[in-house]
């Protein structure tokens, strides 16, 4: 509930930006800029305390990690829209979303291989968010027009810079963030993954293959925008960025799910399936471009779809995929097979097909207690906590219980 409440603050912030700056190129009232900063500060605070609360109440779980990091991935989208509203970034708002998405995806990819979330001394979740909400508060004082002025006019003491002096202030900030934030962070991510892969005699190509869906997503959206007569990133920035951000949230969630389930490294087919909408959108844009803005199939006078409706469908399609990963991703229900008992210290486990389930010490009824935290019982045995060893607990088990499998009896378990 804490995580969801914090995420709702960013939804309200993005909604305010849409109401007062639909195309992100007009100045909202200054109280909106202040609200953006306050709502982001509240989100950061709630995001920081939800983990402490989960540990304090002994309610932490893999599902909680999936939900928390999934909300953080979506937060990149809605905060980019809020900042685009404050700074009047227009179509450049997409690039602010992209630099946050690159660093977030890189950190998730690194965590998949290293099992450690490595944050530098100056990082995005703390200092990065702090700089953004301070920027919102500053904008509430000077006005959003400050960001649209040339960098040399907004900061006269830096007017001597040869390149930055003649570009908008928000563009100069974007380039500086890429140079001093994105590039060093991504370099560190790749270096850490390479060390782990090399130590395990693994394939770096398989590791890099997991980046392909994200690269394909960004490339597909940029091609769509380039071919679109409507210039979707300028005319419909909220729809374009939200649709792309939802797919990004799915990709991040799918990688987290693969890590929790200890799946083999490499490209995940389901991650690519989430990109199937983009070819249709690109064909629709090409058809419109070749027929003076009228969306017709090439060489065939059959009407396609207006691009605003295509973008709405894009958001619906993206949301459907995101909902799928929060349920059970690509992990199917346990396949019944030979049940083999194996003992290990204080706990034991069983293998069902290609999956294993851990059990704790026997309870008062002399039955094994399954190490899976759920408010349910399996054949009278209370599910009391999450299994710690990788591979013992699958997120899919949160939704497919053993008591629904006729082949597993209480005696076997």
The residues annotated with a catalytic role in the active site are: 69
**Angstrom distance (rounded) from CA 217 to CA 276:** 10
- Total count of residues recorded for the chain: 413
**Angstrom distance (rounded) from CA 97 to CA 17:** 15
Residue 346 contacts by C-beta under 8 Å, 6 or more apart in sequence?
Answer: 360, 361
With CA atoms as reference, report the closest residue to 221 among 305, 103, 109, 97: 97
At 345, list the tokens: 């210290």
Alpha helices in 143-236 (DSSP H): 145-148, 151-154, 169-177, 183-199, 204-209, 212-227, 232-235
Q: What distance lies between CA 340 and its chain's CA centroid?
A: 38
At 202, list the tokens: 């693994």
Max Cα distance, the chain (Å): 80
**Angstrom distance (rounded) from CA 192 to CA 198:** 10
């Amino acid at each position: 509930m804490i995580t969801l409440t914090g995420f709702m603050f960013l939804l309200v912030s993005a909604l305010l930006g849409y109401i007062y700056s639909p195309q992100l190129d007009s100045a909202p009232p200054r109280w909106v800029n202040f609200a953006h900063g306050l709502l982001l500060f509240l989100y950061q605070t709630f995001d920081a305390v939800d983990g402490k609360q989960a540990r304090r109440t002994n309610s932490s779980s893999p599902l909680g990690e999936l939900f928390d990091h999934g909300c953080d991935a979506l937060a990149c989208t809605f905060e980019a829209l809020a900042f685009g509203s404050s700074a009047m970034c227009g179509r450049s708002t997409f690039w602010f979303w992209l630099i946050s998405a690159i660093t977030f995806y890189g950190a998730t990819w690194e965590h998949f291989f290293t099992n450690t979330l490595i944050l530098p001394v100056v990082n995005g979740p703390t200092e990065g968010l702090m700089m953004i909400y301070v920027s919102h508060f500053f904008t509430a004082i000077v006005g959003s027009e400050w960001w649209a002025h040339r960098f040399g006019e907004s900061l006269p003491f830096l007017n001597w810079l040869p390149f930055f002096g003649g570009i908008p202030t928000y563009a100069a900030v974007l380039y500086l963030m890429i140079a001093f934030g994105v590039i060093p962070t991504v370099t560190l991510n790749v270096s850490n993954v390479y060390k782990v892969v090399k130590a395990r005699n693994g394939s770096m190509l398989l590791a890099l293959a997991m980046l392909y869906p994200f690269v394909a997503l960004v490339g597909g959206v940029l091609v769509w925008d380039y071919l679109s007569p409507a210039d979707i990133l300028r005319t419909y920035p909220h729809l374009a960025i939200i649709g792309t951000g939802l797919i990004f949230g799915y990709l991040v969630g799918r990688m987290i799910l693969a890590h929790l389930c200890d799946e083999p490294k490499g490209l995940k087919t389901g991650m690519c399936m989430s990109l199937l909408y983009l070819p249709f959108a690109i064909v629709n844009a090409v058809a419109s471009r070749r027929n003076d803005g009228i969306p017709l199939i090439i060489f065939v006078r059959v009407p396609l779809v207006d691009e605003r409706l295509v973008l709405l469908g894009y958001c619906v399609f993206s949301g459907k995929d995101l909902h799928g990963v929060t349920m059970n991703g690509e992990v199917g229900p346990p396949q019944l097979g030979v049940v083999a008992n194996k003992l290990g210290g204080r706990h034991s486990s069983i293998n069902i097909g290609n999956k294993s389930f851990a059990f704790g010490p026997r309870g008062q009824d002399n039955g094994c207690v399954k190490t899976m935290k759920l408010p349910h019982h399996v054949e009278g045995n209370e599910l009391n906590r999450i299994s710690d060893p990788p591979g013992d607990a699958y997120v899919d088990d949160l939704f497919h219980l053993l008591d629904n499998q006729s082949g597993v009896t209480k005696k076997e378990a």
